[in-house]
Amino acid sequence: MPRFTYQSARGLPIKTTNYRGTAQDFADALAEDCRADYRVEPDVRVWHGDGPVTDPPAATAH
């Protein structure tokens, strides 16, 4: 199962998890959850693996 590092919205913690699917599938799912869980507009950024988040994200969603 692929490993991703992600941030659901600016100001929220950066986390790492496994997700069965593509980076874009994961970003889209996080965007939906962000509205419900945090009551903020999502600005999702997803990176492959658990490496540095200074590289451009592999996927984004709003």
Q: Tell me the two tokens of residue 10.
A: 């600016």
Instruction: Return the ∠ at Cα 62 (arms to 20 and 23), rounded to 5°.
Output: 25
Is the full-model pTM beyond 0.85? Answer: yes
Burial of 51 (0-12, 13-18, 19+ CB in 10 A): exposed
| Phi-psi category of residue 24: left, alpha or beta, with phi > 0 → left and psi -120 to 50 → alpha | alpha
Per residue in 10-62, pLDDT (tens digit) is 888 999 999 999 999 999 999 988 877 777 889 999 999 987 788 899 999 99
Per-residue CA distances from 62 to 1, 51, 57 (Å): 24, 23, 13
